[in-house]
Structure 1
Amino acid sequence: MLSWALTFLVVALIAAVLGFTTIAGTAIEIAKIIFFVAIILFLISAVMGFMRRGRGPAL
């Protein structure tokens, strides 16, 4: 998922250099949304992993 955020960031930078400000703005907003979604999913996964580790062996 972070690779998609990086891809949109690169697209935004290239568009900004070429002067396509609307495309650059849209791409950077998409990159930010994907980045924050990835961070939230990582935190949820980490919390669930710590909660599961505290119990005994999974059956």
Structure 2
Amino acid sequence: MAAATLTAQKQVDTITVNSPSMKKDIKNVVILPADYTKQSSFPVLYLLHGYSGRYDSWIG
């Protein structure tokens, strides 16, 4: 049940980042903790989907 509590507290945003090497914009999902502020510091975890995955594969 702890996972359900964490899910309810996060902020999920989709951003677009330009990739000069790929010559296109790439969509990315950013998940922020509920207590995030611009002054706070948190560890970062990068999740990469496989070949057939999409940018939103990790969020369902």
So what's the TM-score if we normalise by structure 1? Answer: 0.19
Instruction: Compare relative contact order (CA 8 Å, sep 6+) and give the higher one, 1 or 2.
Output: 1
- Bigger share in strand: 2
- Bigger share in helix: 1
Bigger Rg, structure 1 or 2:
1
